Amino acid sequence: MNPTASPAAGAEGTSTAGGASASGTKGHFIDGAWREPATAETIEVVNSFTEQVMGSVPAGTAEDVDAAVEAARAALPGWRALPVQDRAGFCTLIGHGLQDRAEEIAGLISQELGTPVTEGMLIQSSLPAIDFTSMEYLVEELPWEQTIGNSRIIREPLGVVGAITPWNYPLHQIAAKVAPAITAGNTIVLKPSEVTPLAACLLAEVIESVGLPPGVVNLVFGTGPVVGEAIVSHPGVDMVSFTGSTRAGIRVSELAAASVKPVTVELGGKSANVILDDADFEAAVVNGVQKCFINGGQTCSALTRMLVPRESLPVVEAVAAAALAEIRTGDPADPETQIGPMSSQVQRDRIRGYIEKGIEEGAKLVGGGPESPEGLDQGFFVQPTVFSEVTPEMTIAREEIFGPVLSIMPYDSEEEAIELANDSLYGLAGGVWSTDQERAVNVARQIETGQVEINGAAFNPLAPFGGRKLSGHGRELGPYGIEDFLTLKAIQL
């Protein structure tokens, strides 16, 4: 996705950039209007199934970021002065606007990312709406002011928030930052991923339609090294919220440290799914395969390491192979498709490289492989793949693959299972399976991650989400997500 020269329509200034559409936009959304970009450079967006260009967005510059920050700073006093219930009310309106366009959102993301439309309706379009509509309820749970001794403790917005979001959940990850940040009273400058930027255009259209005050949410398209770094380094940005790779998160933290900005980072994962010896193996393994392959495996919290009792390995392999055979890979627009193409050619080739590495290092291939799925030579497809007899030192056991690749790892005792689960540079999510819930919870308490699900329990969009170690710090979602966009002031009386 390299910037390529393209003529830009309209004259310099605001409002003539032509707005947005499902094929992209010629401008950035700044101060409540579609503003002409500083340069004519654009970034092409490629359909992951057809491999054809489906649209484009501007390749933003530091000058575009300057304009967005200026608008955000101008809007800040009036926005933070609004009662918190009014700010949350705007989020409710935005959420309803997203609900009204749910099918359009799912269809668009299926094209630019490859998420099957059925899964997209459940995740890619529903979660962002929940992120926004939940704000009016969550604000009631926070102690905006409290008294401790002779001090009045006040929670205040941090100011202008810089938000940088990834390509794998292109609207949910935006909503998980924008909704709590503006509810807390901040204004925001957002850079969506240049790989999947088009869903952000739809959000901007909804923001326009509900009458959100100009400058509260500003959207600048572009690459991380240019627009992302300009946002993080900008003296007018008070706080940064980043979701993406660990390598990029380290870079963001380094740049923000120069001006001592607070930073929250949600990064990679290599999450363990611990199946204990008393578990229902069929249910646990089938669910585990599904949890690993959600969104084509392009999920930071995917349960990519399945830890199983060594004596049960043959049973686990048989169940995993059967579950794998039932998975339908293909056109993301087909309601029967369970895994679509990967997000880009780069991502596809990277995942295939890991599969080849697993074979080279001696892991047992249960199913799948590095070749294209049969009959799917067009599109960025990868065969969903399961390895067994994976050992802790293997590359596929240690590095985040970010694709539909599952590593089954045997253990000889519960203590070893916990040790293996924690033998990772990451600490984002995890799972435990047992017919004894208390036993499962006891194991979950010992796993060094931000979230653990018991017996396949459902994801809770109101629970805190975030990690430990190289998975980052800070929390999103629920009241905890709002807290990260607030600062504390003590007034002694």
Give residue-wise pLDDT tens across range 38-52. Answer: 999 999 999 999 999
pLDDT > 80? residue 8: no
Q: Amino acid letter at 74?
A: A
pLDDT > 60? residue 3: no
pLDDT > 80? residue 7: no
pLDDT per residue as tens digits for the range 158-172:
999 999 999 999 999
What residues pair up with 386 in beta bridges, in sequence order?
367, 406
pLDDT at 23: 74
Taking residues 275-292, what's their average pLDDT? 98
- pLDDT interval class at 14 (50, 70, 90): very low
pLDDT > 80? residue 59: yes
pLDDT per residue as tens digits for the range 118-158:
999 999 999 999 999 999 999 999 999 999 999 999 999 99
Exposed, middle or buried: residue 272 (CB in 10 Å: 0-12, 13-18, 19+)? buried
pLDDT per residue as tens digits for the range 84-122:
999 999 999 999 999 999 999 999 999 999 999 999 999
pLDDT > 50? residue 285: yes
**pTM confidence score:** 0.94
Domain spanning 3-267+472-492, CATH class = alpha beta
The single residue listed with the structure tokens 């960025």 is 380
Q: Are strands 405-411 and 305-309 parallel, antiparallel or unpaired?
A: parallel
Phi, psi (5° rounding) for residue 230?
-65, -40
Name the nearest CA neighbour of 404 among 312, 491, 251, 290: 290
DSSP 477: S
pLDDT at 20: 67
Q: Report the percent of the chain where pLDDT is more than 90.
A: 95
Average pLDDT over the chain reads: 94
Name the nearest CA neighbour of 297 among 229, 396, 366: 396
- pLDDT interval class at 15 (50, 70, 90): very low
pLDDT per residue as tens digits for the range 249-271:
999 999 999 999 999 999 999 99
Taking residues 294-308, what's their average pLDDT? 97
pLDDT > 90? residue 22: no
Active site residues: 266, 300
pLDDT > 90? residue 24: no
pLDDT > 60? residue 80: yes
CATH second-level architecture of 272-460? 3-Layer(aba) Sandwich (3.40)
Q: Which structure tokens are listed for 407? A: 């590593």
- The residue extents of the domains of the chain are 3-267+472-492, 272-460
pLDDT per residue as tens digits for the range 387-444:
999 999 999 999 999 999 999 999 999 999 999 999 999 999 999 999 999 999 999 9
pLDDT > 60? residue 1: no
- pLDDT interval class at 9 (50, 70, 90): very low
Listed in sequence order, the residues at least 6 apart from 262 whose beta carbon sits closer than 8 Å to its beta carbon are: 158, 238, 239, 240, 256, 487
Residue 103's alpha-carbon distances to 98, 121, 392, in angstroms, are 10, 7, 42
